[in-house]
């Protein structure tokens, strides 16, 4: 296999565009009366967490993923707007369309951010900084949304630059100034350096990215392992060979749900595993991909969280194969009626459909035919057109899947 190496850039033609407080900004388009106030996107329930916070809310210490109860303590006048994800998806599509009018080399990272390689667009649209300015103006004029843009010679530096350009700004780091920008930053600015790794590095007096860059590679390997050491050392020295990938396959696909009330009934839990497996299988088939590994996540009522996975002999996107594997993994937890707060199913190690040359399971062949028929009916008549008989019984109350915080 030939790996493409990103050439060294003379200009900052790698852009990272990140929408500012995206969910809240979209909501404020319909609620202009709330502009300038501390606003968050979140359900006003005991188990909810903050999805997105305005910069006015952040001044009170309110942050994404914070429990709603804690956010209200920090900011009693906080305004909560329930998330409306279809609006966010629509706004995201509009923003991505604008990106693609400037360059075909767009790599979405999530619903509200993307890398753009504009090296081939300079003759049409001007310098990278002019392109960044035009992008922000187009996004603002056509969607009403603010965006921040980082420009650099590599992905890593462009993303760091966009973070420091927020809110609603542009920061360009010319390639020749990469190390001058990078080395004074704290070690926590590095991709892949969490609290535990930061403590390990700081124990060796490695406090800044510059300290990391100067640390001998052999010493880093002893501290964080071979793979992490090489990656961190390269990034700290401004080396990042990754190019924009326009055909990126998701690393995993899955769904999880949090019960409004802790659920001990194994029948209800199996029914939920089937529903989640069905949704996961449908997404795999729609994307034309299969999974070699099936995983589950279970959070008990005491907030202990367990994950289990199994790598299959052959990749699959058959709903029943996903479901049976998920059930076997769940049975292996020996739940014994323990109340469950959250349950999830995830497909991992994704690959293009049909990549395996080995023979498929015979029962998968039958289930694939069933899946195809079900998918066809749903495409014609909608999701309500057909569903498993096991799903016709009540599921019980479900709350937002990101509502994961412990009770206050």
pLDDT digit string, tens, across residues 78-120: 999 999 888 998 999 999 999 999 999 999 888 899 999 999 9
Rounded to an integer, what distance in angstroms lies between the CA atom of residue 339 and that of residue 274? 18
The pLDDT value given to residue 407: 33
pLDDT bin (cut points 50, 70, 90) of residue 357 is very low
Nearest to 81 by CA among 120, 119, 39: 39
Question: Over pLDDT 90: what percentage of the chain?
Answer: 58
Between 368 and 19, name the one with better pLDDT: 19
The pLDDT value given to residue 113: 93
Catalytic residues: 113
pLDDT bin (cut points 50, 70, 90) of residue 249 is low
Hey, what are 224's tokens? 């964080």
CA distances from 95 to 50, 74, 92, 107 (A): 23, 33, 5, 13
Residues 6+ apart with CB under 8 A from 270: 327, 330, 390
**Cβ(375)–Cβ(318) below 8 Å:** no
* Residue 257, phi then psi, degrees to nearest 5: -135, 145
> Which DSSP string corresponds to 227-248?
HHHHHHHHHHTT---PPP-TTP
| Average pLDDT over the chain, rounded to an integer | 85
Q: What is the mean pLDDT of residues 312-332?
A: 90
> Which DSSP string corresponds to 75-107?
-TT-EEE---HHHHHHHHHHHHHHHHHH-S-EE
Q: What is the mean pLDDT of residues 170-197?
A: 92
Position 224 pLDDT exceeds 50: yes
Position 23 pLDDT exceeds 60: yes
pLDDT digit string, tens, across residues 271-319: 999 999 999 999 888 878 889 899 999 999 888 889 999 988 788 899 9
The pLDDT value given to residue 102: 95
């Amino acid at each position: 296999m030939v790996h493409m190496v990103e050439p060294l850039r003379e200009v900052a033609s790698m852009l990272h565009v990140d929408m500012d407080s995206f969910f809240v900004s979209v909501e404020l388009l319909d609620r202009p009366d709330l502009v300038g106030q501390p606003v968050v996107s979140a359900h006003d329930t005991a188990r909810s967490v903050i999805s997105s916070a305005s910069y006015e809310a952040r001044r009170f210490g309110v942050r994404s993923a914070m429990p709603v109860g804690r956010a209200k303590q920090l900011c009693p006048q906080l305004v909560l707007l329930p998330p409306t994800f279809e609006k966010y998806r629509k706004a995201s599509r509009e923003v991505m369309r604008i990106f693609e009018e400037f360059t075909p080399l767009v790599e979405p990272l999530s619903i509200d951010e993307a890398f753009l390689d504009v090296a081939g667009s300079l003759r049409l649209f001007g310098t990278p900084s002019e392109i960044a300015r035009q992008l922000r103006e187009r996004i603002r004029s056509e969607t009403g949304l603010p965006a921040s843009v980082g420009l650099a010679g590599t992905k890593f530096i462009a993303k760091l630059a966009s973070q420091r350009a927020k809110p609603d700004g542009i920061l360009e780091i010319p390639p020749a100034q990469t190390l001058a920008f990078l080395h004074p930053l704290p070690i926590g600015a590095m991709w892949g350096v969490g609290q535990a790794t930061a403590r390990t590095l700081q124990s060796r007096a490695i406090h800044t990215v510059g300290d990391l860059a100067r640390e001998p590679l052999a010493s880093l390997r002893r501290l964080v392992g071979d793979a992490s050491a090489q990656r961190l050392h390269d990034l700290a020295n401004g080396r990042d060979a990754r190019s924009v990938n326009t055909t990126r396959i998701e690393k995993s696909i899955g769904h999880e749900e949090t019960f409004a009330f802790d659920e001990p009934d194994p029948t209800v839990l199996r029914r939920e595993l089937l529903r989640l497996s069905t949704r996961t299988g449908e997404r795999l088939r729609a994307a034309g991909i299969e999974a070699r590994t099936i995983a589950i996540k279970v959070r008990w009522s005491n907030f202990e969280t367990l994950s289990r996975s199994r790598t299959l002999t052959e990749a699959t996107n058959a709903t029943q194969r996903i479901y049976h594997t998920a059930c076997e993994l769940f049975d292996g937890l020996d739940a014994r009626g323990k109340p469950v707060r959250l349950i999830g199913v995830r497909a991992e190690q994704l690959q293009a459909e049909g990549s395996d040359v080995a023979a498929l399971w015979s029962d998968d062949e039958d289930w694939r035919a069933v899946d195809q028929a079900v998918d066809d009916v749903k495409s014609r008549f909608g999701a309500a057109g057909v569903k498993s008989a096991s799903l016709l019984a009540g599921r019980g109350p479900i709350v937002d899947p990101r509502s994961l915080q412990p009770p206050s």
